[in-house]
Amino acid sequence: MSDTPAHGIQAEAHQGLAIGGPAEVGFDKRSLDHVPGSTLRGALASVWVRDHGPPTAGNPRRDEFIDIFERTVRFGPLFQDGTALVPLSAVFCKYPRTAGCRSWSIDAAVDPGAHLCPHCGQGVETGKGQLTGVRTQRTLRAGLDERGVPKDGYLFARHELSRGTTYRGRLVGHHPWLAEERTIWLGGKTSTNGMATVRIDTEPAPVPVPDSPREDGRWSSGAPAPP
Ligand SMILES: [Zn+2]
């Protein structure tokens, strides 16, 4: 962690977000439950390249690209409003059967540990740093062939992070290029998903998003709960 100020970032999703996780075969394709910082960075870099061309050696604005995307700014993940991180120290009932089971949890960091749920007497589970409360939508998509033409009769279901929702995160560091409100595509530019309007606060401010539960700063990629 550095002392560089953090800037809040908000993305309004106008379409569902299909954020690539591990490649999946079969009928159901899932999305990550959040937008990784690398995805956000790539989406903004695509806009820069669209406006100014590839940042090759001959590009007069190449230094700006390097400054924003490789030097000055660290792009954090975006989380859907209403989601919460389950801490690694959380303990809860593994197979809740009653309302008591569902509402009971303790934090092993501050409470004495428990091996059994006090409501049903059965086993407990500990948090894995997963997100809860993630809203998704399930849509049917046509499979495309190599030329991008829909394949006859080939449909698959895709779980996307819900549209009409705000996703928030923070950047560490700032650059004047980032001050403008922009339309970006999160998870790849397609006609049916990914479009979002992104705004980055020019004034630094603390943003209440959780830090990664992992020491290496990465996020686990648990599949979202079924809608
Ligand atoms: Zn229980």
Does residue 171 have a pLDDT over 70?
yes
Say which range, 41-45, 52-56, 128-132, 163-167, has the weakest mean pLDDT: 128-132
- Residue 211 pLDDT > 90, yes or no? no
Phi, psi of 86 (to 5 degrees): -85, 115
pLDDT tens track for 183-198: 999 987 778 889 999 9
- Predicted TM-score of the model (pTM): 0.76
Q: Tell me the CA–centroid distance for residue 93 and ligand 1, in Å.
A: 5
> If you measure from the C-alpha of residue 140 to the centroid of ligand 1, how many angstroms do you get, rounded to a whole number?
37
Average pLDDT, the chain: 84
Cβ atoms of 125 and 92 within 8 Å: the answer is yes
Q: How far apart are CA 43 and CA 186, in angstroms?
A: 6
pLDDT recorded at residue 214: 46
Distance CA 11, CA 36 (A): 13
Quick one: pLDDT at residue 218?
46
Instruction: Please tell me the distance between residue 105's alpha carbon and the centre of ligand 1 in angstroms.
Output: 10
Q: How many whole angstroms from 97 Cα to the centroid of ligand 1?
A: 6
Residues 6+ apart with CB under 8 A from 64: 52, 175, 177
pLDDT tens digits for 47-79?
999 999 999 999 999 999 999 999 999 999 999
User: Measured between alpha carbons, how far is 103 from 100 in angstroms, rounded to an integer?
Assistant: 5
Domain boundaries defined on the chain: 1-25+37-84+161-227
CA 123 / ligand 1 centre spacing (Å): 7
- Distance between CA atoms of residues 35 and 67, nearest Å: 22
Q: From the CA of 118, how far away is ligand 1's center (Å)?
A: 7
As a whole number, mean pLDDT of residues 19-35 equals 75
1-25+37-84+161-227 CATH choice from 1.25.40, 2.40.30, 1.10.10, 2.40.10? 2.40.30
Cα 135 to ligand 1 centre (Å): 25
C-alpha of residue 125 to centroid of ligand 1, in Å: 10
Collapsing DSSP to helix, strand or coil, 35 comes out as strand
Is 80 in contact with 161 (CB distance < 8 Å)?
Answer: yes
> Taking the chain, what is the end-to-end CA distance rounded to the nearest angstrom?
36
Residue 12 corresponds to which amino acid? E
Q: How far is the CA of 130 from the centre of ligand 1 (A)?
A: 20
